[in-house]
Amino acid sequence: MSAADLEGYYLREEPQTICGQTIPSIVDDYVPDYPSTVDRFFTRYYYEHPVDKDRQEPHLVLFHSNRICLIQLAPEHVAFRLGIKSVSFEVGKIDRSQNHVSGKKKSGGMIVQADSTLALVTCNDESVFKVRGCVQGKLVEVNQRVVQDVGLLGREGDGFIAVVMPKPEQCEAIKGKLMTREEFPRGKSVGE
């Protein structure tokens, strides 16, 4: 059977009757503007290091209800306008990609601060930008896929640089230091 034959078989809608009642089609339940995974499970926060505010280097922190934080560049980051050439997790003498954690408490993870450098982003004009930790916690993992495909950095959720897990008792204090979409000066245009 060809793919076209299978498509016709699987996509053919047949009315079904059970106990004398017609069952409504699931096709009618399709919601075209269903929220993305990021919209459903994460809260967006923004971080700007005091030194970087004037240079337009904001970061996006996707905060999950289980306290996992995805750190990525905000769409307004100047690196996107300049064109991103490469991403490196080698920061000084430390290679963040060599971070390995184990167990429920993620033991072995590097402790990062809000201003810790997680990665370096090099642009087409050879300018280099630091990707900061944004939150205090344990570095759970870094996204190696962005090294091979820098185009992922522009995709919300998929383009995360790192996963950081703050301590449970610090989550509310951390959220208080970050900016919400409404508080972020350029946040109104993000994703809209």
CATH number at residue 182: 2.40.50.100
Q: Which of 9-18, 82-91, 125-134, 169-178 has the lowest mean pLDDT?
A: 9-18
Residue 90 lies in a domain: yes
Which structural domain range is residue 155 located in? 37-189
Residue 30 lies in a domain: no
Q: How many domains would you assign to the chain?
A: 1
Residue 8 lies in a domain: no
Residue 13 lies in a domain: no
Residue 156 lies in a domain: yes
pLDDT confidence band for 120 (50 / 70 / 90)? very high
pLDDT confidence band for 26 (50 / 70 / 90)? confident
pLDDT confidence band for 107 (50 / 70 / 90)? confident
Is pLDDT of 59 > 80?
yes
Residue 17 lies in a domain: no
Residue 11 lies in a domain: no
Q: What is the DSSP letter of 179?
A: B
Residue 138 lies in a domain: yes
Alpha helices in 29-157 (DSSP H): 37-41, 78-82, 145-148
How far, CA to CA in Å, does 164 sit from each of 66, 81, 136, 170?
12, 26, 8, 13
Q: Which of 14-28, 76-90, 177-191 has the lowest mean pLDDT?
A: 177-191
pTM of the model: 0.79
Residue 46's closest CA among 174, 155, 159, 142?
174
**pLDDT confidence of residue 27:** 67
pLDDT above 90 coverage of the chain, percent: 56
Place of tokens 């430390």: 94
Q: What is the mean pLDDT of the chain?
A: 86
